[in-house]
């Protein structure tokens, strides 16, 4: 029996999804720890989550601090696949708005703003179909301009960075994705590495299991793989093996935002086919 593990990236809606029955799930309530793992009860929780569906797939997810203050509110076209559509906002525990972003069908489309805890503007940009289109600016807490870039349909035309005293400094990219220590270090290389680590479970082969499992994980600000979970399950042993394959990834060069290392989320598909 021949089988293959296909590291394919799929875009768009599956035909079956469009025909999904319009059964609206009930309001879902969960507790999460500091790493956003779902807990069986409120014990040890850092956040509380409410998922409210508008139809069988779309809805609004609200996260709360245990104080009751809203931590985030995000609108989704597809909640389970975390495909954004509408407004996404995050808040400091004081209630002050931290970040505002607008999406259309999974792409940033509209205004993005971020704020310091005291309410002063930290940064602003406008997106069209997931591409910056116009001016992008970021500021120091003092109000001094930190970064100014001009874009046209996602392509930067000019860029400047400034020190706290307003003097020009060498330009550096605002966002840098984590890099895997193989090939070009990009998403395709990462998926290939996961596929190499994956071993087709024997019971899945006997059951002739085929299809796709979708696994999500974070790359921490130290470059480590963390918070591995299944987003779209396929078969119990396949799901477990997908988690193990991701956990076997080597350490990344961390991603950066505005010169600082940050945690970055990834979603990777693994497609299994028996030939």
Q: If you ran DSSP here, which 8-state letter would residue 192 be given?
A: H
- The residue among 128, 145, 172 that closes a domain is 172
**Which pair of structure tokens corresponds to residue 89?**
């906002």
Write down the pLDDT at residue 140: 94
Write down the pLDDT at residue 153: 82
The answer to whether residue 65 sits within a structural domain is yes
Tally of structural domains, the chain: 2
Helix, coil or strand: residue 12: coil
Question: Domain with 225 in it: what CATH number?
Answer: 3.30.2420.10
Q: Are residues 159 and 247 in the same domain?
A: no
Write down the pLDDT at residue 34: 84
Strand pairing class (3-6; 145-152) = unpaired
Q: Are residues 151 and 210 in the same domain?
A: no
Q: Which residues pair with 14 in a beta bridge?
A: none
The answer to whether residue 113 sits within a structural domain is yes
Q: What is the CA angle 78-241-216, rounded to 5?
A: 30
Q: Are residues 66 and 121 in the same domain?
A: yes
The answer to whether residue 12 sits within a structural domain is no
- The residue among 138, 172, 206 that closes a domain is 172
The answer to whether residue 37 sits within a structural domain is yes
Write down the pLDDT at residue 109: 93
Q: Are residues 67 and 167 in the same domain?
A: yes
> What is the span of the domain harbouring residue 100?
24-172
Write down the pTM of the prediction.
0.69
- The residue among 116, 147, 172 that closes a domain is 172
Write down the pLDDT at residue 135: 94
Write down the pLDDT at residue 254: 96
Q: Give pLDDT tens digits along the chain (275 positions).
A: 444 444 433 333 333 444 445 689 999 999 998 877 888 999 999 999 999 999 999 999 999 999 999 999 999 999 988 899 999 999 999 999 999 999 999 999 999 999 999 999 999 999 999 889 999 999 999 999 999 999 998 899 999 999 999 999 999 988 899 999 999 999 999 999 999 999 999 999 999 999 999 999 999 999 999 999 998 999 999 999 999 999 999 999 999 988 889 999 898 999 988 77
Q: Are residues 28 and 79 in the same domain?
A: yes
Helices and strands in the chain, H and E counts? 4, 22
Write down the pLDDT at residue 21: 53
CB atoms within 10 A of CB 165: 8
DSSP E strands in 116-274: the ranges are 121-128, 131-132, 134-139, 145-152, 155-162, 168-169, 175-176, 211-219, 225-232, 255-257, 260-262, 264-274
Q: Are residues 167 and 35 in the same domain?
A: yes
On the CB side of 231, CA atoms within 13 Å amount to 19
């Amino acid at each position: 029996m021949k089988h293959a593990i296909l590291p394919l990236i799929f875009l768009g809606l599956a035909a079956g999804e469009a025909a999904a029955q319009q059964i609206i799930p009930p309001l879902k309530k969960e507790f999460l720890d500091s790493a956003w793992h779902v807990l069986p009860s409120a014990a040890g929780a850092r956040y509380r989550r409410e998922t409210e569906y508008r139809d069988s797939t779309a809805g609004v997810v609200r996260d709360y601090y245990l104080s009751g203050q809203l931590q985030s509110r995000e609108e989704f076209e597809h909640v389970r696949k975390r495909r954004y559509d509408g407004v996404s906002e995050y808040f400091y525990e004081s209630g002050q708005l931290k970040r505002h972003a607008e999406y259309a069908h999974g792409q940033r489309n509209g205004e993005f703003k971020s704020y310091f805890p005291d309410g002063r503007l930290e940064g602003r940009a406008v997106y069209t179909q997931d591409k910056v289109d116009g001016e992008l600016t970021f500021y120091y807490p003092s109000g001094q301009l930190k970064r100014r870039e001009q874009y046209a349909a996602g392509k930067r035309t000019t860029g400047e960075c400034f020190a706290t005293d307003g003097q020009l400094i060498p330009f550096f990219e605002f966002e840098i994705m984590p890099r895997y220590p193989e090939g070009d270090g990009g998403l395709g290389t990462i998926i290939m590495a996961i596929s190499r680590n994956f071993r087709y479970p024997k019971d899945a082969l006997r059951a002739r299991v085929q299809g796709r499992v979708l696994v999500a994980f974070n790359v921490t600000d130290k470059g480590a793989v963390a918070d591995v979970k299944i987003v779209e399950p396929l078969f119990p042993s396949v799901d477990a093996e997908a988690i193990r394959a991701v956990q076997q990834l080597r350490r990344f060069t961390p991603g950066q935002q505005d010169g600082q290392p940050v945690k970055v989320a990834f979603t990777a598909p693994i497609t299994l086919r028996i030939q």
